[in-house]
Chain A
Amino acid sequence: MVKDMTDAGDKMKDHSGAFGGPGVVLTKEQARSRHQRNIAIGATIALLAVLFYAVTIVKFGAAIINRTI
């Protein structure tokens, strides 16, 4: 059982598919477009995080520094 799981892990590492097949190997075009999409999603999420942070600060206003020490 443990050996089976270890084998499965090794398969994932070398990108092998089920039944010892070659797995899904992306073409250059597929890899490039996926890479571009990943960058776009990452940039969008980063911008959203910054936007929400900034909006939160603005909504708090001056009260954000008004706290007991």
Chain B
Amino acid sequence: MMTPPLSAAIVFALLLLAPLALAGLALVNAGLGRSRSAAQSLLGSLAIMAAAFIAFAGVGACFAGPDGALSFNLAGKSWNWLGTAPVLLLHLARSPIESQLGVLFECLAAALVSIIPWGAGADRLRLAAGWAIAALMGALGFPVLAHWVWGAGWIGQLGANFGLGAGFLDPAGGATVHVLGGAGALAVVWIAGPRRGKFPKEGLATAMPAHNATFVLAGCMIAVVGWLAFNCAGALLWLHADLNGLVITALNTLLAAAGALGATLVVTWIRFGKPDASLCANGWLAGLVTSSASAALIPPAAALFTGVVMGIATPLLVEFLELALSIDDPAGAISVHFAGGLWGVFVAGVFAPQKGQLLAQLAGMAAVVGVFLPTVYFAFKLLDRFIPLRVDPDGERIGMDLHELGGGAYPEFVIHRDESYR
């Protein structure tokens, strides 16, 4: 194990790179949407980050940390379920450096959770609604789960209390960030409904292709740096990994993404005759999401295998959700984050050396999906009554840029008829 000051310095340096994951996702979301919503999408991502940072620092951090935890006793075990640290980070300056770095990690992760539903609601989710969702996730949803997993909460203590391996392991947020964000994406899509003209009265779903593949693919390249930072920082912070572990974590992150991209490339090539850029980007991101839970825990060959499986599944899932289940998710957030996160958490249990680790991972998955998906849905449904998630039909017709910002992202573009309105 490294000496604490060196370890802390490395974690701090890594966390300074972690916002690149947010920047990458913001670019991917903007590129996958339509040209008339591009500026609103990118400004929304920035506003969401701001709201999540403020909400987490102001309120969320007091629930997320291990300090002053609320717990109850059941069956002779202590069930630690909520932190009660002072609000507005008043205690932070006196905390040890590890705790401070944990708060910084979680603050960035809160923004990542909040930005995922924004991509799913592209082209119809209002800026105010995105802001409110980020505030809700940053202040309440994410901090509770973060406490359960990273703040000495009951899921993280499954090993000590019930002999299940080392407890639920999720070093960079496969479930804590991505499954929760994916649940938020599903809730947004269900509440806001599909884009106008996406599912016409007759015939198949209308294709609404990404307006800027360059944004999407460049976003993927930027995101990988952020993911490397998140995964390595998570391994150091939550698993206390040593330097060897760090290098393998980074390699596993790259292998999972590479395996996923290669598999998606082949699948789309076979299915459509040519590789599909948007789906390949989704595959790459799904591989990265898979690595969030597993990269620090599994061997490199397993990371490659995990990525390949996710790369095969992602384009099929995106198509299945759209065509069979009438779910309009322009960014593929549900397939990438919800499914990818769950797969990563499961794989971490399968390949972990500790006895009982798989059961700990399954129990953690049951907690995250069974509690947070319904809670997030009902919270967003309630929010929708006060701040409508969806823009009015006229606003959707003219585009989110003109409607919400008063100007487009590409003012020199020639406006043409919209073929999607049938």
Decide whether A and B assemble into one complex. Answer: no
